[in-house]
Amino acid sequence: MAEALLAACNGEQLKALLDVAERAFSQRLTYSLEKQFKRTGEPGSKIKGILLAELMKILNTWCMEGHRSAIRCVLMELSSPDIASLARISELDREVHSMLHEYGLPYEPSPCHIVDDYR
């Protein structure tokens, strides 16, 4: 019965319950609460991830076809977190990835450190 009630809660409500779970609930109920919270998660982030994966496919295709100006128009409309999320997709074309730096993706520090031994 408790699991049915937890299933009716939204993410914010589940988070509020988790904050008091150790003091207020049994271990079994706390476990059910944590499980439901993980299941609920952030539905917007799942949808956003799917959309970014589809966008990556389109951008890769446009890059192969030479439509770089169209790619730049799309990238110009994305927010910084979306640019960062897109950069984390390993299948993204390297050339498209390099364009992300024009729209707010910071460059990674180089792992190579040049030592000045010539002094």
| 37 and 11 Cβ atoms separated by less than 8 Å | yes
| 18 and 10 Cβ atoms separated by less than 8 Å | no
Lowest-confidence range among 23-27, 45-49, 75-79?
45-49
Helix, strand, or coil (residue 54): helix
- Res 116 pLDDT > 70: no
- The reported pTM is 0.55
- Please name the residue ranges forming H helices in the chain: 2-7, 11-24, 27-40, 43-65, 68-77, 80-87, 94-100
Q: What angle do CA 58, 64, 66 make, to 5 degrees?
A: 100
